[in-house]
Structure 1
Protein backbone atom coordinates (compact mmCIF):
# COMPACT_ATOMS: atom_id res chain seq x y z
CA UNK A 1 0.00 0.00 0.00
CA UNK A 2 1.39 3.46 -0.81
CA UNK A 3 2.94 5.38 2.05
CA UNK A 4 1.14 8.53 0.90
CA UNK A 5 -2.61 8.08 0.58
CA UNK A 6 -3.92 11.47 -0.55
CA UNK A 7 -2.98 14.25 -2.95
CA UNK A 8 -4.08 17.81 -2.24
CA UNK A 9 -4.00 19.92 -5.40
CA UNK A 10 -3.90 23.68 -5.67
CA UNK A 11 -6.02 24.82 -8.62
CA UNK A 12 -4.64 27.86 -10.44
CA UNK A 13 -1.28 27.00 -11.97
CA UNK A 14 -1.43 23.35 -10.88
CA UNK A 15 -4.57 21.82 -12.40
CA UNK A 16 -5.50 24.67 -14.74
CA UNK A 17 -3.52 27.44 -16.47
CA UNK A 18 -5.73 29.99 -14.78
CA UNK A 19 -2.76 31.38 -12.83
CA UNK A 20 -1.70 33.06 -16.08
CA UNK A 21 -5.17 34.55 -16.46
CA UNK A 22 -5.11 35.75 -12.87
CA UNK A 23 -1.68 37.31 -13.48
CA UNK A 24 -3.08 39.24 -16.42
CA UNK A 25 -6.10 40.35 -14.40
CA UNK A 26 -3.90 41.65 -11.57
CA UNK A 27 -1.75 43.49 -14.10
CA UNK A 28 -4.83 45.11 -15.64
CA UNK A 29 -5.82 46.22 -12.15
CA UNK A 30 -2.53 47.37 -10.67
CA UNK A 31 -0.55 48.66 -13.67
CA UNK A 32 -2.83 51.69 -14.22
CA UNK A 33 -3.41 52.02 -10.47
CA UNK A 34 0.33 52.33 -9.90
CA UNK A 35 0.84 54.73 -12.79
CA UNK A 36 -2.02 57.01 -11.77
CA UNK A 37 -0.70 57.24 -8.20
CA UNK A 38 2.93 57.74 -9.17
CA UNK A 39 3.99 54.42 -7.63
CA UNK A 40 6.74 52.09 -8.78
CA UNK A 41 5.52 50.22 -11.88
CA UNK A 42 3.66 46.95 -11.30
CA UNK A 43 5.54 43.90 -12.65
CA UNK A 44 5.13 40.13 -12.70
CA UNK A 45 7.60 39.98 -9.81
CA UNK A 46 4.97 41.73 -7.68
CA UNK A 47 2.49 38.95 -8.46
CA UNK A 48 4.85 36.21 -7.29
CA UNK A 49 6.09 38.14 -4.26
CA UNK A 50 2.86 39.63 -2.93
CA UNK A 51 -0.24 38.05 -4.50
CA UNK A 52 0.23 34.51 -5.81
CA UNK A 53 -1.69 31.87 -3.83
CA UNK A 54 -3.15 34.23 -1.25
CA UNK A 55 -6.82 35.05 -0.69
CA UNK A 56 -7.76 37.88 -3.03
CA UNK A 57 -8.14 40.65 -0.45
CA UNK A 58 -4.93 39.61 1.31
CA UNK A 59 -3.12 39.84 -2.02
CA UNK A 60 -4.45 43.37 -2.54
CA UNK A 61 -3.42 44.40 0.98
CA UNK A 62 0.06 42.91 0.65
CA UNK A 63 0.71 44.61 -2.68
CA UNK A 64 -0.53 47.97 -1.38
CA UNK A 65 1.71 47.63 1.68
CA UNK A 66 4.69 47.00 -0.62
CA UNK A 67 4.03 50.45 -2.14
CA UNK A 68 3.30 52.18 1.15
CA UNK A 69 -0.37 52.68 0.26
CA UNK A 70 -2.96 52.51 3.03
CA UNK A 71 -6.64 51.97 2.28
CA UNK A 72 -9.46 50.91 4.59
CA UNK A 73 -10.21 47.20 4.42
CA UNK A 74 -13.88 47.63 3.60
CA UNK A 75 -16.18 44.63 3.24
CA UNK A 76 -16.81 41.92 0.66
CA UNK A 77 -19.97 43.79 -0.38
CA UNK A 78 -18.04 46.87 -1.57
CA UNK A 79 -18.73 47.83 -5.17
CA UNK A 80 -15.74 47.27 -7.47
CA UNK A 81 -13.51 50.34 -7.35
CA UNK A 82 -10.39 51.73 -5.70
CA UNK A 83 -11.55 53.21 -2.39
CA UNK A 84 -11.03 50.10 -0.23
CA UNK A 85 -8.99 46.90 -0.27
CA UNK A 86 -12.14 44.88 -0.88
CA UNK A 87 -13.32 47.21 -3.64
CA UNK A 88 -10.03 46.67 -5.46
CA UNK A 89 -10.31 42.93 -4.94
CA UNK A 90 -13.85 42.92 -6.32
CA UNK A 91 -12.71 44.91 -9.33
CA UNK A 92 -10.02 42.30 -10.00
CA UNK A 93 -12.70 39.59 -9.77
CA UNK A 94 -14.74 41.33 -12.46
CA UNK A 95 -11.68 41.50 -14.71
CA UNK A 96 -10.73 37.83 -14.34
CA UNK A 97 -14.28 36.57 -14.83
CA UNK A 98 -14.46 38.55 -18.06
CA UNK A 99 -11.25 36.84 -19.20
CA UNK A 100 -12.65 33.40 -18.25
CA UNK A 101 -15.81 34.08 -20.27
CA UNK A 102 -13.88 35.32 -23.31
CA UNK A 103 -11.15 32.67 -23.41
CA UNK A 104 -12.49 29.55 -21.68
CA UNK A 105 -10.48 27.20 -19.47
CA UNK A 106 -8.74 23.89 -20.20
CA UNK A 107 -6.77 21.85 -17.66
CA UNK A 108 -3.08 21.08 -18.07
CA UNK A 109 -2.88 17.70 -19.89
CA UNK A 110 0.01 16.57 -17.69
CA UNK A 111 -1.96 17.40 -14.55
CA UNK A 112 -4.93 15.35 -15.75
CA UNK A 113 -2.64 12.39 -16.45
CA UNK A 114 -1.12 12.67 -12.98
CA UNK A 115 -4.59 12.95 -11.43
CA UNK A 116 -5.65 9.82 -13.34
CA UNK A 117 -2.53 7.96 -12.16
CA UNK A 118 -2.86 8.72 -8.46
CA UNK A 119 -6.59 8.07 -8.33
CA UNK A 120 -6.08 4.75 -10.17
CA UNK A 121 -3.49 3.90 -7.51
CA UNK A 122 -6.12 4.44 -4.81
CA UNK A 123 -5.18 7.89 -3.54
CA UNK A 124 -7.87 10.22 -2.25
CA UNK A 125 -7.77 13.67 -3.86
CA UNK A 126 -8.90 17.19 -3.01
CA UNK A 127 -8.60 20.72 -4.35
CA UNK A 128 -7.32 23.41 -2.00
CA UNK A 129 -7.49 26.91 -3.47
CA UNK A 130 -7.76 30.43 -2.12
CA UNK A 131 -9.94 31.37 -5.10
CA UNK A 132 -13.66 31.85 -4.65
CA UNK A 133 -14.00 31.08 -8.37
CA UNK A 134 -12.93 27.47 -7.80
CA UNK A 135 -16.33 25.79 -8.49
CA UNK A 136 -16.76 27.69 -11.76
CA UNK A 137 -13.19 26.96 -12.88
CA UNK A 138 -13.47 23.24 -12.07
CA UNK A 139 -16.77 23.03 -13.94
CA UNK A 140 -15.43 24.91 -16.97
CA UNK A 141 -12.34 22.69 -17.05
CA UNK A 142 -14.43 19.49 -16.83
CA UNK A 143 -12.93 18.49 -13.49
CA UNK A 144 -15.78 19.17 -11.07
CA UNK A 145 -16.83 15.52 -10.81
CA UNK A 146 -13.26 14.41 -10.03
CA UNK A 147 -13.20 15.98 -6.57
CA UNK A 148 -15.64 15.34 -3.75
CA UNK A 149 -13.58 17.49 -1.37
CA UNK A 150 -12.93 21.12 -2.31
CA UNK A 151 -11.63 23.61 0.24
CA UNK A 152 -11.65 26.98 -1.47
CA UNK A 153 -12.03 30.65 -0.64
CA UNK A 154 -15.76 30.18 -0.13
CA UNK A 155 -15.27 27.37 2.39
CA UNK A 156 -12.51 29.31 4.14
CA UNK A 157 -14.77 32.35 4.55
CA UNK A 158 -17.73 30.26 5.70
CA UNK A 159 -15.73 28.23 8.24
CA UNK A 160 -13.31 30.96 9.30
CA UNK A 161 -10.26 29.07 8.03
CA UNK A 162 -7.08 31.19 7.68
CA UNK A 163 -5.67 31.30 4.16
CA UNK A 164 -2.26 30.42 2.81
CA UNK A 165 0.64 30.65 3.73
CA UNK A 166 -0.94 29.13 6.84
CA UNK A 167 -1.51 25.37 6.52
CA UNK A 168 -5.11 25.46 7.74
CA UNK A 169 -6.89 25.00 4.39
CA UNK A 170 -4.75 21.97 3.53
CA UNK A 171 -5.25 20.56 7.03
CA UNK A 172 -9.01 20.91 6.64
CA UNK A 173 -8.92 19.07 3.30
CA UNK A 174 -6.89 16.22 4.81
CA UNK A 175 -9.35 16.04 7.69
CA UNK A 176 -12.30 15.81 5.29
CA UNK A 177 -10.53 13.01 3.41
CA UNK A 178 -9.84 11.19 6.69
CA UNK A 179 -6.07 11.20 6.12
CA UNK A 180 -3.39 12.48 8.53
CA UNK A 181 -1.21 15.25 7.10
CA UNK A 182 1.91 13.05 7.09
CA UNK A 183 0.13 10.70 4.66
CA UNK A 184 -0.78 13.45 2.18
CA UNK A 185 1.02 15.14 -0.72
CA UNK A 186 0.58 18.88 -1.27
CA UNK A 187 0.96 20.04 -4.88
CA UNK A 188 1.49 23.80 -5.29
CA UNK A 189 2.97 26.35 -7.68
CA UNK A 190 2.84 29.38 -5.35
CA UNK A 191 5.34 30.34 -2.68
CA UNK A 192 2.54 30.83 -0.16
CA UNK A 193 1.28 27.35 -1.06
CA UNK A 194 4.55 25.49 -0.57
CA UNK A 195 5.00 27.42 2.68
CA UNK A 196 1.60 26.18 3.77
CA UNK A 197 2.49 22.59 2.91
CA UNK A 198 5.78 22.78 4.77
CA UNK A 199 4.12 24.34 7.82
CA UNK A 200 1.44 21.66 8.03
CA UNK A 201 3.67 18.62 8.50
CA UNK A 202 2.59 17.01 5.23
CA UNK A 203 4.37 13.94 3.94
CA UNK A 204 5.57 15.55 0.70
CA UNK A 205 5.35 19.04 -0.77
CA UNK A 206 5.63 19.14 -4.57
CA UNK A 207 6.35 22.48 -6.19
CA UNK A 208 5.30 23.00 -9.80
CA UNK A 209 7.51 25.66 -11.35
CA UNK A 210 5.34 27.90 -13.50
CA UNK A 211 7.75 30.81 -13.30
CA UNK A 212 8.70 31.29 -9.67
CA UNK A 213 11.92 29.31 -10.05
CA UNK A 214 12.86 25.90 -8.62
CA UNK A 215 15.33 27.16 -6.04
CA UNK A 216 12.87 29.69 -4.65
CA UNK A 217 10.20 27.00 -4.35
CA UNK A 218 12.63 24.78 -2.47
CA UNK A 219 13.66 27.63 -0.20
CA UNK A 220 10.02 28.16 0.76
CA UNK A 221 9.29 24.52 1.54
CA UNK A 222 9.02 22.35 -1.58
CA UNK A 223 10.64 18.93 -1.17
CA UNK A 224 10.44 18.16 -4.88
CA UNK A 225 10.12 20.57 -7.83
CA UNK A 226 8.90 19.68 -11.33
CA UNK A 227 8.26 21.82 -14.37
CA UNK A 228 4.94 20.05 -15.04
CA UNK A 229 2.99 17.24 -13.40
CA UNK A 230 3.55 15.12 -16.50
CA UNK A 231 7.00 14.57 -14.96
CA UNK A 232 5.42 12.58 -12.11
CA UNK A 233 3.41 9.39 -11.84
CA UNK A 234 1.83 7.33 -9.06
CA UNK A 235 5.29 6.27 -7.84
CA UNK A 236 5.36 9.55 -5.92
CA UNK A 237 2.95 7.91 -3.47
CA UNK A 238 5.75 5.53 -2.44
CA UNK A 239 8.02 8.35 -1.31
CA UNK A 240 9.01 7.99 2.36
CA UNK A 241 6.76 10.24 4.43
CA UNK A 242 8.37 11.92 7.39
CA UNK A 243 6.89 13.95 10.19
CA UNK A 244 7.27 17.58 9.18
CA UNK A 245 7.75 16.75 5.52
CA UNK A 246 9.65 14.38 3.28
CA UNK A 247 13.28 14.85 2.35
Structure 2
Protein backbone atom coordinates (compact mmCIF):
# COMPACT_ATOMS: atom_id res chain seq x y z
CA UNK A 1 0.00 0.00 0.00
CA UNK A 2 1.22 3.48 -0.84
CA UNK A 3 2.37 5.47 2.17
CA UNK A 4 0.17 8.58 2.25
CA UNK A 5 3.02 10.47 3.93
CA UNK A 6 5.56 9.67 1.21
CA UNK A 7 6.88 12.89 -0.31
CA UNK A 8 5.45 14.15 -3.56
CA UNK A 9 7.54 12.82 -6.45
CA UNK A 10 6.03 14.44 -9.56
CA UNK A 11 3.44 16.91 -10.86
CA UNK A 12 1.14 16.34 -13.84
CA UNK A 13 -0.52 19.32 -15.52
CA UNK A 14 -3.64 19.34 -17.61
CA UNK A 15 -3.21 21.82 -20.48
CA UNK A 16 -6.44 23.31 -21.88
CA UNK A 17 -8.06 25.40 -19.16
CA UNK A 18 -5.04 25.14 -16.86
CA UNK A 19 -2.04 26.42 -18.83
CA UNK A 20 -3.92 27.90 -21.77
CA UNK A 21 -7.32 29.55 -21.92
CA UNK A 22 -8.36 27.42 -24.86
CA UNK A 23 -11.50 25.68 -23.58
CA UNK A 24 -13.55 28.55 -25.01
CA UNK A 25 -11.76 28.21 -28.37
CA UNK A 26 -12.53 24.47 -28.53
CA UNK A 27 -16.17 25.25 -27.80
CA UNK A 28 -16.32 28.05 -30.36
CA UNK A 29 -14.71 25.91 -33.08
CA UNK A 30 -17.00 22.94 -32.46
CA UNK A 31 -20.09 25.13 -32.37
CA UNK A 32 -18.90 26.78 -35.58
CA UNK A 33 -18.67 23.43 -37.35
CA UNK A 34 -22.20 22.58 -36.27
CA UNK A 35 -23.51 25.99 -37.33
CA UNK A 36 -21.81 25.67 -40.73
CA UNK A 37 -23.64 22.38 -41.21
CA UNK A 38 -26.97 23.87 -40.07
CA UNK A 39 -27.00 21.81 -36.86
CA UNK A 40 -28.38 23.31 -33.61
CA UNK A 41 -26.05 22.90 -30.64
CA UNK A 42 -27.45 20.32 -28.18
CA UNK A 43 -27.77 21.27 -24.53
CA UNK A 44 -24.94 19.77 -22.48
CA UNK A 45 -22.73 18.97 -25.47
CA UNK A 46 -19.96 21.35 -24.41
CA UNK A 47 -19.64 19.83 -20.94
CA UNK A 48 -19.97 16.26 -22.25
CA UNK A 49 -16.93 16.61 -24.54
CA UNK A 50 -14.58 18.18 -21.99
CA UNK A 51 -11.79 15.69 -21.37
CA UNK A 52 -12.79 13.30 -24.15
CA UNK A 53 -10.02 11.94 -26.35
CA UNK A 54 -9.94 12.89 -30.03
CA UNK A 55 -11.66 9.67 -31.19
CA UNK A 56 -14.31 10.14 -28.49
CA UNK A 57 -15.21 13.78 -29.11
CA UNK A 58 -15.06 13.45 -32.89
CA UNK A 59 -17.45 10.49 -32.68
CA UNK A 60 -19.70 12.55 -30.39
CA UNK A 61 -19.70 15.47 -32.85
CA UNK A 62 -20.46 13.19 -35.78
CA UNK A 63 -23.07 10.93 -34.20
CA UNK A 64 -24.66 12.86 -31.33
CA UNK A 65 -24.38 16.45 -32.57
CA UNK A 66 -24.68 15.48 -36.24
CA UNK A 67 -21.73 17.37 -37.72
CA UNK A 68 -21.05 16.37 -41.32
CA UNK A 69 -18.47 13.66 -42.01
CA UNK A 70 -16.99 10.58 -40.41
CA UNK A 71 -15.39 10.97 -36.96
CA UNK A 72 -11.85 11.11 -38.46
CA UNK A 73 -13.01 13.77 -40.93
CA UNK A 74 -14.68 15.77 -38.17
CA UNK A 75 -11.52 15.50 -36.06
CA UNK A 76 -9.37 16.79 -38.90
CA UNK A 77 -11.70 19.73 -39.58
CA UNK A 78 -11.68 20.64 -35.90
CA UNK A 79 -7.95 20.28 -35.31
CA UNK A 80 -7.08 22.27 -38.44
CA UNK A 81 -9.28 25.14 -37.25
CA UNK A 82 -7.80 24.92 -33.75
CA UNK A 83 -4.27 25.08 -35.15
CA UNK A 84 -5.24 28.13 -37.21
CA UNK A 85 -6.64 29.84 -34.11
CA UNK A 86 -3.46 29.03 -32.15
CA UNK A 87 -1.33 30.59 -34.88
CA UNK A 88 -3.37 33.77 -34.54
CA UNK A 89 -3.21 33.89 -30.75
CA UNK A 90 -2.60 31.35 -27.99
CA UNK A 91 -4.15 32.76 -24.80
CA UNK A 92 -2.18 31.81 -21.72
CA UNK A 93 -3.73 31.74 -18.27
CA UNK A 94 -2.21 34.04 -15.62
CA UNK A 95 0.78 32.53 -13.85
CA UNK A 96 0.93 29.45 -16.11
CA UNK A 97 4.51 29.71 -17.33
CA UNK A 98 5.73 30.82 -13.91
CA UNK A 99 3.99 27.88 -12.21
CA UNK A 100 5.58 25.42 -14.62
CA UNK A 101 9.02 26.93 -14.11
CA UNK A 102 8.58 27.03 -10.34
CA UNK A 103 7.46 23.43 -9.99
CA UNK A 104 9.86 22.01 -12.57
CA UNK A 105 12.76 23.28 -10.48
CA UNK A 106 11.58 20.90 -7.73
CA UNK A 107 9.88 17.93 -9.45
CA UNK A 108 9.70 16.16 -12.81
CA UNK A 109 6.63 17.33 -14.70
CA UNK A 110 4.27 15.79 -17.25
CA UNK A 111 1.26 16.92 -19.25
CA UNK A 112 -1.86 14.74 -19.45
CA UNK A 113 -4.09 16.42 -22.01
CA UNK A 114 -7.14 15.66 -24.10
CA UNK A 115 -5.64 17.67 -26.95
CA UNK A 116 -4.15 15.80 -29.91
CA UNK A 117 -0.38 15.38 -29.94
CA UNK A 118 0.30 18.11 -32.49
CA UNK A 119 -1.56 20.73 -30.43
CA UNK A 120 0.21 19.66 -27.21
CA UNK A 121 3.61 19.98 -28.86
CA UNK A 122 2.70 23.29 -30.52
CA UNK A 123 1.40 24.74 -27.27
CA UNK A 124 4.41 23.82 -25.15
CA UNK A 125 6.74 25.10 -27.86
CA UNK A 126 4.84 28.38 -28.24
CA UNK A 127 4.93 28.95 -24.48
CA UNK A 128 8.64 28.09 -24.37
CA UNK A 129 8.20 25.40 -21.72
CA UNK A 130 8.82 22.16 -23.63
CA UNK A 131 12.08 21.57 -21.78
CA UNK A 132 10.33 21.92 -18.41
CA UNK A 133 8.36 18.72 -19.00
CA UNK A 134 9.82 15.25 -18.72
CA UNK A 135 7.01 13.78 -20.81
CA UNK A 136 3.49 14.36 -22.12
CA UNK A 137 0.48 12.19 -22.87
CA UNK A 138 -2.42 12.81 -25.22
CA UNK A 139 -5.55 10.88 -24.36
CA UNK A 140 -5.69 9.79 -28.00
CA UNK A 141 -2.59 7.73 -27.13
CA UNK A 142 -4.36 5.71 -24.43
CA UNK A 143 -7.45 3.51 -24.37
CA UNK A 144 -9.92 6.06 -22.98
CA UNK A 145 -10.11 9.81 -22.43
CA UNK A 146 -11.08 11.66 -19.30
CA UNK A 147 -12.92 10.97 -16.97
CA UNK A 148 -11.23 7.56 -17.31
CA UNK A 149 -7.89 7.49 -15.45
CA UNK A 150 -5.84 6.21 -18.39
CA UNK A 151 -4.02 9.43 -19.31
CA UNK A 152 -2.89 10.16 -15.77
CA UNK A 153 -1.86 6.57 -15.16
CA UNK A 154 0.24 6.62 -18.33
CA UNK A 155 1.86 9.93 -17.35
CA UNK A 156 2.85 8.48 -13.97
CA UNK A 157 4.16 5.34 -15.67
CA UNK A 158 6.35 7.42 -17.98
CA UNK A 159 7.58 9.48 -15.03
CA UNK A 160 8.33 6.32 -13.06
CA UNK A 161 6.28 7.35 -10.01
CA UNK A 162 3.34 5.83 -8.17
CA UNK A 163 0.13 7.79 -8.79
CA UNK A 164 -0.33 8.30 -5.05
CA UNK A 165 2.93 10.25 -4.96
CA UNK A 166 1.98 12.54 -7.85
CA UNK A 167 -0.07 15.73 -7.92
CA UNK A 168 -2.46 16.61 -10.76
CA UNK A 169 -3.45 20.18 -11.62
CA UNK A 170 -6.86 20.23 -13.29
CA UNK A 171 -9.79 22.50 -14.08
CA UNK A 172 -12.70 20.58 -15.63
CA UNK A 173 -15.16 18.11 -14.15
CA UNK A 174 -13.95 15.21 -16.27
CA UNK A 175 -10.32 16.12 -15.72
CA UNK A 176 -10.76 16.23 -11.95
CA UNK A 177 -12.57 12.90 -12.02
CA UNK A 178 -9.83 11.37 -14.18
CA UNK A 179 -6.99 12.43 -11.90
CA UNK A 180 -8.83 11.34 -8.76
CA UNK A 181 -9.71 7.97 -10.30
CA UNK A 182 -6.03 7.46 -11.14
CA UNK A 183 -5.14 8.03 -7.49
CA UNK A 184 -3.27 11.31 -7.82
CA UNK A 185 -3.63 14.10 -5.29
CA UNK A 186 -5.62 16.75 -7.12
CA UNK A 187 -5.30 20.53 -7.16
CA UNK A 188 -8.43 22.07 -8.70
CA UNK A 189 -8.08 25.36 -10.56
CA UNK A 190 -11.69 25.96 -11.67
CA UNK A 191 -12.24 27.77 -14.95
CA UNK A 192 -14.69 30.67 -14.61
CA UNK A 193 -16.41 29.97 -17.93
CA UNK A 194 -16.84 26.24 -17.30
CA UNK A 195 -17.03 25.69 -13.52
CA UNK A 196 -16.65 22.04 -12.52
CA UNK A 197 -19.43 20.04 -10.92
CA UNK A 198 -19.49 19.80 -7.15
CA UNK A 199 -18.99 16.03 -7.16
CA UNK A 200 -15.81 16.50 -9.23
CA UNK A 201 -14.51 19.23 -6.91
CA UNK A 202 -15.13 16.95 -3.96
CA UNK A 203 -12.34 14.69 -5.19
CA UNK A 204 -9.75 17.48 -5.04
CA UNK A 205 -7.33 17.79 -2.16
CA UNK A 206 -7.35 21.57 -2.52
CA UNK A 207 -9.15 24.20 -4.61
CA UNK A 208 -7.24 27.34 -5.60
CA UNK A 209 -8.21 30.55 -7.31
CA UNK A 210 -5.33 30.58 -9.79
CA UNK A 211 -1.92 29.15 -10.63
CA UNK A 212 -0.12 31.79 -8.57
CA UNK A 213 -1.40 29.89 -5.54
CA UNK A 214 0.19 26.64 -6.69
CA UNK A 215 3.48 26.99 -4.85
CA UNK A 216 6.14 24.46 -4.00
CA UNK A 217 4.98 24.64 -0.39
CA UNK A 218 1.36 23.93 -1.30
CA UNK A 219 2.34 20.90 -3.41
CA UNK A 220 4.71 19.57 -0.75
CA UNK A 221 1.92 19.83 1.81
CA UNK A 222 -0.27 17.48 -0.23
CA UNK A 223 1.88 14.54 0.85
CA UNK A 224 -0.35 14.37 3.91
CA UNK A 225 -3.61 14.87 1.98
TM-score for the superposition, normalised by structure 1? 0.77
**Residue 148 (str. 1) matches residue 134 (str. 2):** yes
**Residue 126 (str. 1) matches residue 130 (str. 2):** no
Q: Deviations over 1:49-107 (max 9, x none)?
A: 2111211231233356655x5xxxxxxxxxxx822222222211121112112x23253
**Residue 19 (str. 1) matches residue 17 (str. 2):** no
Task: Please list every run of 5 or more consecutive structure 2 residues that lacks an aligned counterpart in the other structure.
Answer: none
* Partner Cα separation in structure 1 for residue 195 and residue 94 of structure 2: 21
**How many equivalent residue pairs?**
218
Q: Is the 8 A contact 1:106 1:140 kept in 2?
A: no
SS state at 1:171 partner? helix
Task: Please list every run of 5 or more consecutive structure 1 residues that lacks an aligned counterpart in the other structure.
Answer: 70-80
Task: State the match for 1:165 in structure 2.
Answer: 147
SS state at 2:84 partner? helix
Task: State the match for 2:52 in structure 1.
Answer: 54
Q: Is the 8 A contact 2:112 2:138 kept in 1?
A: yes
* Partner Cα separation in structure 2 for residue 54 and residue 87 of structure 1: 17
Shift of 1:134: 0.7
Task: State the match for 2:216 in structure 1.
Answer: 234
Q: Is the 8 A contact 2:6 2:165 kept in 1?
A: no
Task: State the match for 2:76 in structure 1.
Answer: 90
**Residue 116 (str. 1) matches residue 115 (str. 2):** no
SS state at 1:145 partner? helix
* Partner Cα separation in structure 2 for residue 84 and residue 221 of structure 1: 36
Q: Is the 8 A contact 1:197 1:205 kept in 2?
A: yes
TM-score for the superposition, normalised by structure 2? 0.84
SS state at 1:151 partner? strand
* Partner Cα separation in structure 2 for residue 26 and residue 50 of structure 1: 13
Shift of 1:42: 4.7
Q: Is the 8 A contact 1:218 1:224 kept in 2?
A: no
SS state at 2:95 partner? helix
